[in-house]
Amino acid sequence: MDRPLVFEDFADRLDDVFVVSEQNTPAIPLILTEAKPMPRSSALQGIRPPFSLLFAARDPRVLEQKIYRLQHDDLGALQIFLVPIGKDADGVLYQAVFN
């Protein structure tokens, strides 16, 4: 995508699959479980209104905190900074925050 990602890119994509593919590692499908706008801080005047995304992975491997290439059927290839925020018997949760 040639422009900054915005909340509207994800708002209607709940339950969509975004696939993380790293070299020499099997692909990990992530399900978008939440897309939520965040309040704009007067101290942070970014290029877009802030928002956050939550992804769930059924894969028990925990990806380290870093920028990943995610592939989506409609949005194409995206570079998103993912942070693991929890793990349970169902899998791992990841968050991406856009300021």
Q: How confident is the model at residue 9 (pLDDT cuts 50, 70, 90)?
A: very high
pLDDT, position 6: 95
Contacts of range 28-34, beta carbons closer than 8 Å, 24 or more positions apart: 28/57, 28/59, 28/61, 28/63, 29/57, 29/58, 29/59, 30/55, 30/56, 30/57, 30/70, 30/94, 31/55, 31/56, 31/57, 33/93
**Domain total in the chain:** 1
Whichever domain contains 24, its CATH number is 2.40.10
pLDDT, position 32: 98
Q: How confident is the model at residue 1 (pLDDT cuts 50, 70, 90)?
A: low
Q: What is the domain extent for residue 11?
A: 7-98
Say what the pTM is.
0.90
Q: What is the pLDDT of residues 38-85, one digit of tens each?
A: 987 655 566 788 999 999 999 999 999 999 999 999 999 999 999 999
User: Does any domain span residue 2?
Assistant: no
User: Does any domain span residue 79?
Assistant: yes
